[in-house]
């Protein structure tokens, strides 16, 4: 049995494990479905070494029963992260790669239908710390799936879009992981070099047996050329799928921090994307903002009474999300998260705040 070591982000506290866990000798430590009771147990597992069966995890067939994994958003996304880190960082042979990507894409499609708000919460609040570049393409694939459905694309095109999003940075994931913590942005020469990763990714995918021309085109052209051409001209050259990937990629970059800059609040990022992208005339920016909203699940917001809260779910109206307060107006963490009714004047959402401003207590994760 070939073992794959887990990292801290892949084991959730209070959530059932989606796989059997072994020690480095291949001995069973915890069975699938076991609930890790607290942070101490989770950290102990990581320190001692927690492993899963690489074959069971990375080479699943379409006939596998994913019911236990997909029952909860948290376990589904743990499984997606672990599979994606194995598959995308070390693609391996063509057939297992395509099969593994199909499993990951299936998980994402299921999450959009059955765990939409919970998945937005998970993706915004549980970004992988060890492999941020992989976390980014997972987030992109999920948002692209949502937006493609809103745009009315046929199922086959939606599925190709998800696969394209997962693989759009295939040629540069290792480099992007390293750049994530760098204290300065790319210089002109580095930007030119990075601009080639789409074309390089297409070549890698062709070597891995991908024949879907729309998928390959989207990966090759998901970054628009810096020549000042209009959205319409670029769209005609690159195609709708590439345009959608670019807008999702750009939004996620805005709401994520880097070592040299902070993250934008989701409402600020959405407004920038909308206005700088041509406003209502841009169908991709418009559809993305309508799907995600100004205050998506997982976002941190400030309430009228000064409290800081975390969005649990989108509300029937965009400005009335379901939230729980986690920090008082005095800056002190509340003893327990408290649900607030944002329709009441005292608890009205007055602004979103950037990711990382508040730390979500473990108790709040169970509320969504």
pTM over 0.85: no
The whole-number pLDDT of residue 316 equals 82
For the segment 159-210, what is each residue's pLDDT rounded down to a tens digit? 999 999 999 999 999 888 887 777 788 888 777 777 789 999 999 999 999 9
In the chain the beta strands, taken as DSSP E runs, fall at: 3-5, 21-22, 28-30, 51-53, 300-303, 308-313, 322-327, 333-340, 349-353
Q: Is the pLDDT of residue 270 over 80?
A: yes
Q: Which residue has the tokens 């989606």?
A: 18
For the segment 300-358, what is each residue's pLDDT rounded down to a tens digit? 999 999 999 999 998 888 889 999 999 999 989 999 999 999 999 999 999 998 877 77
The whole-number pLDDT of residue 128 equals 56
Whole-number Å distance between alpha carbons of 78 and 76? 6
Residue 61, CB half-sphere, CA atoms under 13 Å: how many?
A: 2
Whole-number Å distance between alpha carbons of 11 and 49? 12
Q: Which residue has the tokens 């050259």?
A: 237
Please give the C-alpha separations between residue 140 and each of 6, 24, 53, 187, 249, in angstroms, as whole numbers.
23, 33, 27, 25, 6
Taking domain 66-292, whether its CATH number is 3.10.310.70 is answered by: no
Burial class (CB in 10 A: 0-12, 13-18, 19+), 90: exposed
The whole-number pLDDT of residue 368 equals 59
* Domain limits, CATH 1.10.3210.10, in the chain: 66-292
For the segment 14-63, what is each residue's pLDDT rounded down to a tens digit? 777 777 888 888 889 888 778 888 888 888 888 888 888 766 554 444 43
- Secondary structure of residue 149 in the 3-state scheme: helix
């Amino acid at each position: 049995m070939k073992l794959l070591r887990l990292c801290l982000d892949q084991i959730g506290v209070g959530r059932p494990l989606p796989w059997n866990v072994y020690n480095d000798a291949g001995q069973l430590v915890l069975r699938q479905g076991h609930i890790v009771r607290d942070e101490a147990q989770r950290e102990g597992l990581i320190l001692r070494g927690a492993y899963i069966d690489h074959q069971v995890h990375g080479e699943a067939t379409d006939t596998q029963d994913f019911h236990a994994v997909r029952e909860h958003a948290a376990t589904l996304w743990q499984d997606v992260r672990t599979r994606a880190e194995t598959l995308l960082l070390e693609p391996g042979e063509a057939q297992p790669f395509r099969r593994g990507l199909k499993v990951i894409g299936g998980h994402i499609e299921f999450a959009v239908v059955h765990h939409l708000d919970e998945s937005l919460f998970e993706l915004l609040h549980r970004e992988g710390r060890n492999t941020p570049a992989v976390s980014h393409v997972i987030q992109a694939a999920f948002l692209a799936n949502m937006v493609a459905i809103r745009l009315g694309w046929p199922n086959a095109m939606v599925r190709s879009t998800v696969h394209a999003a997962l693989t759009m940075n295939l040629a540069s994931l290792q480099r992007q992981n390293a750049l994530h913590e760098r204290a300065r942005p790319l210089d002109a020469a580095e930007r030119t070099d990075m601009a080639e990763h789409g074309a390089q990714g297409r070549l890698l995918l062709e070597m891995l047996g991908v024949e879907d021309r729309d998928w390959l085109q989207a990966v090759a052209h998901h970054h628009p050329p810096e020549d000042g051409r209009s959205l319409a001209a670029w769209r005609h050259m690159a195609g709708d799928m590439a345009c959608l990937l670019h807008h999702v990629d750009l939004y996620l970059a805005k709401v994520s921090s880097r070592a040299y800059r902070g993250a934008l609040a989701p409402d600020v990022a959405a407004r920038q994307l909308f206005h700088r992208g041509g406003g209502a005339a841009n169908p991709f920016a418009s559809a993305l903002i309508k799907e995600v909203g100004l205050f998506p699940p997982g976002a941190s917001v400030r309430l009228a009474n000064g409290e800081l809260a975390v969005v649990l779910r989108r509300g029937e109206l965009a400005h009335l999300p379901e939230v729980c307060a986690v920090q008082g107006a005095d800056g002190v963490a509340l003893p327990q998260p408290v649900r607030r009714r944002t329709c009441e004047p005292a608890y009205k959402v007055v602004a979103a705040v950037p990711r990382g401003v508040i730390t979500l207590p473990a108790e709040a994760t169970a509320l969504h």
